Structure 1
Amino acid sequence: MAHIGNWEWDIATNERYWSDELYSIFGFKPQEIEVTYDMFLSCVHPDDRDYVDNAIKEALEGKPYDINYRLILNNGEERIVHEQGKTIFDEKNLPARMFGTVQDITEHKRTEEALAKIEETRVKEIHHRIKNNLQVISSLLSLEAEKFTDSIILESFKESQNRIASMALIHEELYKGDKIDTLEFGDYLRKLTADLFSSYNIHKNISLNLDLEQIYLGLDTAIPLGIIVNELVTNSLKHAFPNGNKWEISISLKKIKDLGVNKEVSRADSACSQKKDFQYTLTVADNGKGIPEEINFRNTDSLGLQLVNILVEQIEGCLELRRNRGTEFFIKFNDISR
């Protein structure tokens, strides 16, 4: 059954009409109770009352409404309804009459919620399986690495395992988190960098400075960006810091508050200055010995920097290298998942 009731309100006489089905939706027998506006609002869920009241007030000013809200019946049962309403105005442009319909959509909404829960469970299970499969691949690489003693080859295995770990961590966060298709990237970066410092067993006097805003990213952006951070932090940990000093790696993740200032964020002559508007910036910097001027980071033999360039292009972002008292990689990007 459709469970649709209708109502009318003669504003001039303050007479109200409810159909029998509408009484039933609100948990009453026909004509059981006098219909008033206060009675109607008392049936609306307390958290929805202001929303419903504002919609009706706007309708009296000429804006029809089409809303969903919750009812609390006398027996405590909660129902979800869909209501549409409209105002008729007289020749003086004053509100003369209102009319509308109310449909009980409780079962429909509960079915939607149940299906959404099933889908969420299914997707989370997929993330869990992908994470486990990536960990198996990492374990296989570890076993394969035992066949070698050459430090360069062993380092290549380790770097590959860290790249796999950066992807596995994203799937783990999505499996554990409240959302199935986006993750809070700042929290992810905190865990990723902690894992990298642990992986390289840092005993040097290197501190980590994180300035991370709460930003949710989809999978298509988060995975490449995670690998990018993995490569840049790994590069700093391995190559940037001689012994005997205090060193620092800094990572910032920011939302560009005003898209009109995009060009001001980049230097006037930079590679990013003429690009399209971006939503976010990511900076990975260190105060180490820096990358020599003669090295072109966009055309290098370093697999890590090659990956960084490829992945920035994949997410349709923009990359700058700033050589100021160390190394600073500055990236502007959007969430291509949306």
Structure 2
Amino acid sequence: MNAYNPNQNVMDALDLNIVLLDFDGTIVFYNKQWEIFARENGNPTLNNSDIGSNYLEAVKKGIIDGDEIARDAYNGIMDVIWGKRARFDLEYPCHSPNEKRWFIMHARKCIDQDLVVIYHEDITDRKIAEEKLKSSEEKYRKLAESAHAVLWEYDILEDRWTYVSPQVTEMLGYSPEEWTDIKFWEDHIHPEDQKWAVQYCNESTQRGESHTFEYRFLKKDGNIAWIRDVVSVDMKDNIPFKLRGFMIDITERKRLEDLKKKELLLKEVHHRVKNNLQVISSLLNLQSRNFNDEKVKAAFMDSQNRVKSMSLAHEKLYQSSDLSTIEMSDYVKNLAGYLYQVYKINKDINLIVEADTEYFNVDTAVPFGLILNELITNSLKHAFVNRKGGQLLIKFINNNGKYVLEVIDDGTGFNQDIESHRSLGLKIVHMLADQLNATVSIDTSKGTRTVINF
């Protein structure tokens, strides 16, 4: 039975647990929800909760038991009673064995009356939603901070970065705290990209358009990183107010793209050199047809074959995977096979090629190829004169880090003292051997055996 009886029907219609205390803390009124709440929570007799009970004394018992929430509640209610504050609010948990619950206790002094109204607002649904949101945000944060990207959020109206994920320190060297305003971002864009990148971002933002762009960014250590920035725009009343996005480091991708462009360019250069050398070879062939002298024609053919050896080197280069080296065993076999077809002239010559797999750059491959061309040409042209055939052995090996090229035929041999002064081919061999810091030895005791060591 309520001692103080405001409009009972109105109070009972409210979903709040309402109780009125006098300034001594005695309960003088409560509504239906207050009674229902007490009964549902193990207090069917309304012990310490009925009319005449002292609410503050019940709270004091909680303080004695060490309940900090009870202490805060008591102090807050007393502040309202003593006029130190007009209102007091306290959020507190009130969990049962079967469920979690949260409430807010509100205390207000009644106008022109020595009474305090206290009502308890059930905020369980809100707290559960907040916990779920917090859990979701925590999962998102962990996901964001484990990603190989920098997630960020920027408040346009306040001109501040509200979030920059920790990966920014590893990627760019700056701590998240150093990202203060938009000027920090603008000032660290590479000077060559700054104007267009800032303008593009601003124009896209004003239109409310999500946008993606790639630019160079100055890292804290002075190096440059290529960034792919993916940006979404939040709008309110057709006005952009927030930007969200993520930055990915694409430096390695850009490096590979640049390398690919250089490879394509280098491949095209070698291809054109090879084509130009083929044009020269064709011109030499056409020019040789104007002469009837066989010695002159032979000289033209020798020159064509020298051009062919260089052309073959560039052909192998633009066909290779790294464009910087030539696999020499394949080169030796191809050049030997080509010259064999040119000079064989219906003779039964057994060509044997033994070559290790080695890689030369173009500066080594071209003089090496010219030397090989001269030695094979010399054997095929002169070793088997007045003979129906013979054997030509070409060996190229790596002997403990030293390269050895041997061209051996079982032909007629020649006088080195005479031939070294007359033969352009041998002069070329010695000249190119000097380029390779190679030694040349020739043995004509049994056919001709030429050894190049380098």
Q: TM-score, normalised by structure 1?
A: 0.60
Report how far residue 168 of structure 1 moved.
0.5
Letter of the 1:310 counterpart? M
The Cα RMSD (Å) is: 2.4
Q: Equivalent residue for 1:23?
A: 146
Q: Equivalent residue for 1:143?
A: 286
Contact kept? 2:441, 2:452, Cα under 8 Å? yes
Q: How does 1:202-281 map to 2 (within 5 A)?
A: 202-244=345-387, 246-257=389-400, 279-281=402-404
Report how many aligned residue pairs link the two structures: 219
Q: Equivalent residue for 1:100?
A: none
Contact kept? 1:207, 1:249, Cα under 8 Å? yes
Q: How does 1:173-212 map to 2 (within 5 A)?
A: 173-212=316-355
Report how far residue 321 of structure 1 moved.
1.1
Pick aligned residue for 1:323 from 430, 433, 444 = 444
Report how far residue 284 of structure 1 moved.
1.0
1:250-276 deviation per Cα after TM superposition (whole angstroms, max 9, x unaligned)? 11111122x5xxxxxxxxxxxxxxxxx
Contact kept? 2:150, 2:248, Cα under 8 Å? no
Report how far residue 295 of structure 1 moved.
3.7
Letter of the 1:221 counterpart? T
Q: Equivalent residue for 2:408?
A: 285
Q: Equivalent residue for 2:65?
A: none
Aligned CA distance change for structure 1 residues 325 and 25 (closer, same or farther; 3 Å) = same
Pick aligned residue for 2:430 from 305, 309, 325 = 309
Unaligned runs of 5+ in 1: 1-18, 29-103, 260-278, 334-338
Contact kept? 1:204, 1:243, Cα under 8 Å? no
1:155 aligns with 2:298: yes
Classify the secondary structure of the residue corresponding to 1:253. Answer: strand
Report how far residue 171 of structure 1 moved.
0.7
Q: How does 1:117-136 map to 2 (within 5 A)?
A: 117-136=260-279
Contact kept? 1:287, 1:325, Cα under 8 Å? yes
Q: What fraction of aligned residue pairs are identical, expressed as a percent?
A: 39
Report how far residue 201 of structure 1 moved.
4.2
Contact kept? 2:263, 2:323, Cα under 8 Å? yes
State how far apart, in whole Å, the 2-side matches of 1:328 and 1:308 are. Answer: 14
State how far apart, in whole Å, the 1-side matches of 2:334 and 2:249 are. Answer: 41
Contact kept? 2:396, 2:405, Cα under 8 Å? yes
Letter of the 1:307 counterpart? I
Report how far residue 243 of structure 1 moved.
3.9
Q: Equivalent residue for 2:250?
A: 107
Aligned CA distance change for structure 1 residues 118 and 214 (closer, same or farther; 3 Å) = same
Q: Equivalent residue for 2:115?
A: none
State how far apart, in whole Å, the 2-side matches of 1:293 and 1:198 are. Answer: 27
Report how far residue 332 of structure 1 moved.
1.2
State how far apart, in whole Å, the 2-side matches of 1:197 and 1:307 are. Answer: 20
Letter of the 1:187 counterpart? D
Aligned CA distance change for structure 1 residues 119 and 239 (closer, same or farther; 3 Å) = same
Contact kept? 2:149, 2:248, Cα under 8 Å? no
State how far apart, in whole Å, the 1-side matches of 2:308 and 2:322 are. Answer: 21
Report how far residue 314 of structure 1 moved.
1.0
1:8-61 deviation per Cα after TM superposition (whole angstroms, max 9, x unaligned)? xxxxxxxxxxx9875233999xxxxxxxxxxxxxxxxxxxxxxxxxxxxxxxxx
Unaligned runs of 5+ in 2: 1-141, 152-246
Higher relative contact order, chain-length normalized (CA < 8 Å, sep 6+):
1
Classify the secondary structure of the residue corresponding to 1:25. Answer: coil
Q: Displaced runs of 4+ in structure 1, greater than 3 A?
A: 19-22, 242-246, 293-297
Structure number, greater radius of gyration: 2
State how far apart, in whole Å, the 2-side matches of 1:169 and 1:237 are. Answer: 20
Contact kept? 1:236, 1:286, Cα under 8 Å? yes
Q: Equivalent residue for 2:34?
A: none
Report how far residue 202 of structure 1 moved.
3.2
Report how far residue 169 of structure 1 moved.
0.7
Contact kept? 2:149, 2:249, Cα under 8 Å? no
Q: TM-score, normalised by structure 2?
A: 0.45
